[in-house]
């Protein structure tokens, strides 16, 4: 298994020379963040990332993410341009040695939380989602503020997107995803890249917007849309574990059998009865995810793909990008490495 760490480029307060000091950390997961969604990534920017990472003794083989333009999700006629750009970005990344691209198909909002600074009993802080709070919010109101959503939209743009999605059913979104996959997967196969869709986070509808990558039935439908092994998943234990009706261990076992798991996000959460949750330390006893069981399933299938410790708490006085501090993710990586090594015996 290949351990990796997400890094946000030159704007990230965590330097690569710190990340390389985490035991068994061999890869960096990043992207070109300066280009608007849907546009071409300059080859020189991709090469600069690659050289900087390799100069610090690690590999650049996973991109997270190449965002999907809303016109593709909406099925607009203008999607053709953005899909062609997406294909070219796949080719350019493959040329630089990238083998896996993580992406998502969530309308409007990416990962969503109601608190980025929830204070835990031990004094650390973490990300949380309170469904009672989110149900009371109106994303189109003038005072709307929600941690974790894409703040690149103005109020007018956000209103226009909500209007556009009013006529989009879940089946429409599935059709648009199928169209997108059938366009890009042949290119991915041609250049040796695996596409790994990330589950919706959280894995259920918010604000009335359709969300479709949510549970086992959704993944089985995804695999039928395009039966290529290159059409795979980023298996996120935290996202999929945020539904009480998801048996993440059976799901992981099945998708590994099908050869569809290309990337692992290992994150622990403490799940409540109503599917609200707090993100916790990676160690199993602090949350609802049995990390030993997760890694044992990976070991049983001789998983040789990529894994990264996902969101961490803020500990030891660290201030930084919420969920993406150094210390707790490094602790998480070490914890996961320890489990992985012990499973050899």
Q: Which of 71, 115, 201, 310 is catalytic?
A: 310
Q: Which of 69, 262, 265, 282 is catalytic?
A: 265
Structure tokens at 82: 């953005």
Q: Beta strand pairing status for 231-236 and 261-266? A: parallel
Orientation of helix 291-300 relative to helix 248-257, angle to 10°: 20
Q: CA 165 → CA 112, 136, 137, 215, 236, distances in Å?
A: 18, 20, 18, 22, 26
Catalytic residue status for 236: yes
Q: Which of 201, 236, 255, 262 is catalytic?
A: 236
Catalytic residue status for 102: no
Catalytic residue status for 262: no
Q: Which of 324, 327, 328, 335 is catalytic?
A: 324
Q: Which of 69, 262, 282, 311 is catalytic?
A: 311
Q: Where are the alpha helices (DSSP H) in 270-343?
A: 291-300, 327-342
Of the CA atoms within 13 Å of residue 55, those in its CB half-sphere come to 8
Q: Residue 156 CA to chain centroid, in angstroms? A: 27
Q: Which of 51, 50, 72 is nearest to 62 (CA)?
A: 50
Cα distance from N-terminal residue to C-terminal residue, the chain: 16
Q: Which of 69, 198, 262, 282 is catalytic?
A: 198
Orientation of helix 170-191 relative to helix 79-95, angle to 10°: 30
Orientation of helix 216-225 relative to helix 248-257, angle to 10°: 20
Catalytic residue status for 324: yes
Catalytic residue status for 265: yes
The DSSP output letter for 324 is -
Which residues does the annotation mark as catalytic?
198, 236, 265, 310-311, 324
């Amino acid at each position: 298994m290949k351990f990796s760490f997400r890094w946000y480029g030159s704007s990230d307060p965590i330097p690569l020379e710190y990340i390389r000091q985490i035991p068994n950390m061999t890869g960096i997961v990043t992207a070109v963040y300066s280009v608007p969604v849907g546009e071409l990534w300059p080859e020189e920017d991709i090469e600069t990332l690659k050289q900087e990472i390799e100069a610090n003794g690690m590999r650049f083989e996973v991109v997270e993410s190449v965002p999907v333009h809303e016109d593709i999700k909406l099925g607009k006629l203008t999607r053709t341009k953005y899909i062609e750009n997406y294909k070219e970005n796949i080719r350019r990344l493959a040329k630089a040695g990238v083998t896996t691209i993580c992406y998502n198909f969530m309308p409007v909002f990416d990962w969503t939380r109601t608190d980025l600074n929830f204070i835990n009993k031990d004094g650390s802080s973490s990300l949380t989602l309170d469904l009672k709070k989110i149900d009371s919010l109106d994303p189109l109101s003038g005072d709307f503020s929600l941690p974790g959503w894409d703040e690149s939209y103005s109020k007018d743009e956000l209103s226009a997107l909500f209007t556009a999605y009013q006529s989009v059913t879940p089946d429409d979104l599935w059709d648009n995803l199928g169209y997108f996959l059938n366009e890009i997967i042949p290119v991915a196969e041609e250049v040796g890249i695996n596409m790994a869709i990330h589950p919706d986070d959280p894995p259920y509808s918010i604000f009335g917007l359709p969300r479709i990558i949510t549970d086992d039935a959704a993944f089985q439908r995804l695999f039928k849309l395009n039966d290529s092994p290159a059409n795979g998943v980023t298996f996120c234990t935290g996202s999929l574990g945020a539904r009480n009706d998801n048996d993440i261990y059976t799901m992981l076992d099945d998708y590994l059998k099908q050869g569809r798991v290309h990337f692992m996000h290992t994150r622990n959460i403490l799940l409540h009865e109503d599917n609200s949750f707090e993100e916790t330390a990676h160690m199993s006893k602090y949350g609802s995810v049995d990390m030993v069981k997760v890694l044992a399933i990976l070991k049983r299938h001789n998983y040789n793909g990529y894994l990264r410790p996902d969101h961490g708490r803020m500990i030891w006085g660290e201030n930084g990008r919420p969920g993406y501090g150094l210390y707790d993710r490094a602790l998480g990586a070490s914890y996961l490495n320890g489990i992985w090594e012990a499973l050899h015996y």
